Amino acid sequence: MAYIKGAAYIWSDGENLHLWSETGLDDWQAMEAYSGKPNASGVQIPERAADEFVVMRFAELVKLGLAQEAIERALTHGNFGGTALAELAPTLRTLHSGA
């Protein structure tokens, strides 16, 4: 399922999180051929590691007062995770304002 589509494309296959960047460059020939973008690149990491990163990063955003802005930007994507975020956004906003 895709979470973010565009110049940055992030999706999960249920086991791994796949990160692709239109401006990345690591000679990932398959994605270059697929996208027609000469600098396209991507990588996959275990989804569990991504989950750990996400909660640590969110904690940093809350502490820095930047979570609200990130929530609003993420809500513009509207893909699979966007639905869950939209449902939880009021609670997350409350957590953010209390930090």
**Are 97 and 90 contacting, i.e. CB atoms less than 8 angstroms apart?**
no
Between 55 and 1, name the one with better pLDDT: 55
Domain that holds residue 18: 2-98
> Sorting pLDDT into bands at 50, 70 and 90, what band is 95?
confident
Percentage of the chain exceeding pLDDT 70: 77
Residue 78, pLDDT above cutoff 70: no
**Are 7 and 23 contacting, i.e. CB atoms less than 8 angstroms apart?**
yes
The count of domains in the chain is 1
Compute the distance between CA of residue 23 and CA of residue 67 in angstroms, rounded to an integer.
26
Among 18, 5, 7, 92, CA closest to 50? 18
Mean pLDDT of 32-47: 72
The half-sphere exposure of 22 on its side-chain side, counting CA atoms within 13 A, is 9
Task: Identify any residues that bridge with 42 across adjacent strands, giving them in sequence order.
Answer: 20
pTM of the model: 0.70
Compute the distance between CA of residue 43 and CA of residue 39 in angstroms, rounded to an integer.
14
